[in-house]
Amino acid sequence: MNESEFEHELRALRPAAPAPSLVKRIAAELPATHAITVAPSRTLDHAPAAGVVARPERGSTLLGLLRGLLWAGAGAAVASFILLNREPQAPVPSPTTTAPSMAVSGTADETVSELIDSTDEGLIYDQDTPQRQMRLTYLERHVWTNPQTGAVIEFEVPREDIVLMPVAMQ
Amino acid sequence: MDSNHTDAHWRTCYEQLAPKLLLFARQWLPSMADAEDAVQNAFVRFWRHQPQAGAEHYPLLYAAVRTSALDLIRSRDRREKREADDRVDVSRADTPVFDTTIDQREHAEAVQAALDQLPQAQREVVVLKVWGELTFAQIAQALGESINTIASRYRYALEAMRRHIKPHDYERV
């Protein structure tokens, strides 16, 4: 007997059929799925004719994009204003809260500068004087509140300072 | 897609595959009731995710049955440990794995015994190839193995089954 004859003998046996109740149990569970599949077309105010694909309204996408651009522009303007008017700050070793340093036409300002990373980049020599170069990374968090409208503008700006610290040679 | 159309889809699939899926599930779950539960879970899960599935997706259905059967075993084991209950071993004999005529009954029992003595990895390949009628490539897809591995397992399994069922063929050699 070769392998194909043996396979043929095995295939002659038919797997037992499941109980008739199994298909009913499956049918009872599957319609819920189909309802989910067809639900979007039922929610439309005007039911589309057969074969017509309902397109999402273009206006809502444009409006969303415009709104996003406006918010991004406003954030960028505020960030530019603060960065241009910011006084040079000494490195802050730990999170601190500074008092409001600016007041822009009725808005209160709070700035938190948080040191999130510091890297020792080794010794460098400036005019034969050894100095340790430190790279300090901060995250500045600005919160502006308009007391008249209650609107709050909050944004974060990363900042990186390179600090040279004198090293005393003994 | 029209729900009646989808309904016809899964029913056609069920008519074609239900006995094969059940046999596959019973390689892990000897109890007919447990195997039916596994097939039901897998079938529903599969058609929920693939309402437009075609014949090319059917190997994934076998993979879903396998996962469902293993999940059922794990949950049953957990329950049994929790309840510290005596494990009730449901024999295959009470519900035959194959539909047989009287003439075939003895042969069917021998085949089932030969299947039982195979390692799990070989047994599932034989069931999928012989009774599931899948190609080696489809079995490889369903089980996540290479085609060469599947072909080797099949060859070894068939040889072992033949030795078990027809020992006299080898005694003569």
List pLDDT tens digits, range B9-36: 888 889 999 999 999 999 888 888 889 9
pLDDT at A105: 53
Lowest mean pLDDT among A39-48, A49-58, B5-14: A39-48
The answer to whether A52 faces chain B, any CB pair under 8 Å, is no
Q: Name the segment(s) of chain B with CATH classification 1.10.1740.
A: 1-91
A13 contact residues in B (CB cutoff 8 A): 98, 100, 104, 107-108, 111, 131
Q: Which residues pair with A123 in a beta bridge?
A: A132
Determine the average pLDDT of the residues in B131-139. Answer: 93
One of 3.40.50.300, 1.25.40.10, 1.10.10.10, 3.90.550.10 is the CATH number of B96-173, namely: 1.10.10.10
Chain A residue closest in CA terms to B22: A18
Range with the lowest mean pLDDT among A6-10, A18-22, B80-84, B100-104? B80-84
Per-residue pLDDT at B121? 93
CB contact under 8 A, A13 and B10: no
Element (H, E) at A74: helix A58-85
Please answer yes or no on whether A26 and B130 come within 8 Å at the CB atom.
no
Kindly tell me if the per-residue pLDDT of A161 is higher than 60: yes
Partner-chain contact B19 A15, CB within 8 Å: yes
pLDDT exceeds 80 at position A38 = no
Chain A residue at shortest CA distance from B109: A13
Question: If you average pLDDT over residues A85-109, what whole number do you get?
Answer: 55
Q: How far apart are CA B128 and CA A10, in angstroms?
A: 12
CATH classification (class only), B1-91: mainly alpha
Nearest chain B alpha carbon to A33: B48
Share the mean pLDDT of chain A.
Answer: 71
Most trustworthy range by pLDDT among A29-33, A54-58, A90-94, B43-47: B43-47
Q: A1 at the B interface (CB within 8 A)?
A: yes
Q: With beta carbons less than 8 A apart as the criterion, state whether A38 and A44 touch.
A: no
- Sequence ranges of chain B with CATH classification 1.10.10.10: 96-173
Where along chain A do its domains lie? Answer: 3-41, 64-166
Alpha carbon of A43 to those of A36, A39, A54: distances in Å? 12, 7, 11
What is the per-residue pLDDT across B58-112, written as a single tens digit (0 to 9) for each? Answer: 888 999 999 999 988 888 777 666 665 444 444 454 678 888 888 888 889 899 9
Asked whether the beta carbons of residue B6 and residue A3 sit closer than 8 angstroms, the reply is: no
